[in-house]
Structures are given as C-alpha cells and as structure tokens.
Amino acid sequence: MHLFGSSAPYSVFPDSQPFLRWARQKGLIVGIVSIAEYRYQDVILPALGLNQGSEWDFGVFSGLVGVEKPDPRMYEIALEKAGNIAPEEALHIGDSMRKDYIPARSVGMHALLLDRFKTPDAESWRQSGALVFPDLVAVQDWLTKEEEIAAGQKA
C-alpha cells in the first residue's frame, strides 16, 4: 500500500466544495492558507476533489513557503498571491483563535472562526469579539445577508 501520493488520511467536510464554488462564482478570489506539506497542493487536494481553478485560486502551504501559522507572514503572502489586495478586503475563515484568527487580524484582515465540533473554547472566542459559525453553510448565509445589507446601503 502506497499512501504517500494518496488522500487516504484526509477527508473533506461536505459543505467545503459547495462553499468554495459559491465564493468563486460570486467573483471572490479564494485562497487556502495551510500548515500542510508540499504535496497538499498538487496531490492531496485534487484527490479530494478540491481543484485549483474550480474550488480555489491560490494556496499558501507551509511546506512550500517555509513559514508556518501563526506567523503573520502566511497571511501577508496570501494577500500578495490574491493580487496584492488590501488586508481589509480579505476574509480569513479558520478554526483556531491562535493560528488563524489572531494572525489574520494582526495583518488587518477580517476573520471568523468555524466551530464544527462545539469546542469549549468557542464561547471565549465569542467573548473576545470573534464571529463564530458552526459550518460553512452558516458562513454563506451570513455573507449573503452582509452583501444584501451593503447593496441596500449603496442604493
């Protein structure tokens, strides 16, 4: 059995692919920021049905860039790869206050957290001001409402 080139130890949440495709259809630039090793981009994600060009536009993978979360440089590289966009135009969705939320906010990005497993820490995340959602379906609903509010304010 040869697992090195396999996605065997990995799985994808069922809401991931629809959310990523929805975001790209909305015209958003979608990036993946991960502490994953080098083969994640070209082997593992495609084997899981998450392909560059249909579900995501660019990746920042520790194994390729030589930096790991929570180093804010991961998020600066993401902003560069997204087309040198301003941090306030970016939203980072993560599942760790320390490795995702705090470093993304430290470079000026918007950020929110997923609490898929009802972690005891989620309440303290909320108390510190973080937006916390149970899954990407809830994030999509929230983003849609935010978009409608923004459109109404422009009218």
78-89: per-residue pLDDT in tens?
999 999 999 999
In angstroms, how far is the first alpha carbon of the chain from the final one? 60
What angle do helix axes 16-25 and 136-154 make, rounded to 10 degrees?
Answer: 20
Predicted pLDDT of residue 16: 95
In the DSSP assignment, the letter for residue 65 is H
Predicted pLDDT of residue 2: 38
Average pLDDT of every residue of the chain: 91
- Token pair, residue 27, equals 């015209």
Please tell me which residue, 139 or 11, carries the higher pLDDT value.
Answer: 139
* Residues contacting 110, CB < 8 A, separation 6+: 88, 90, 91, 92, 104
- CATH architecture for segment(s) 16-154: 3-Layer(aba) Sandwich (3.40)
pLDDT band at 7 (very low <50, low <70, confident <90, very high): low
User: Per-domain residue ranges for the chain?
Assistant: 16-154
Predicted pLDDT of residue 4: 47
Q: What are the DSSP calls for 69-99, one per residue?
A: TT-THHHHHHHHHTTS--GGG-EEEES-III
Section 105-116 average pLDDT? 97
Predicted pLDDT of residue 1: 33
Section 108-136 average pLDDT? 96
- What are the two backbone dihedrals, phi and then psi, of residue 142, each rounded to the nearest 5 degrees? -65, -45
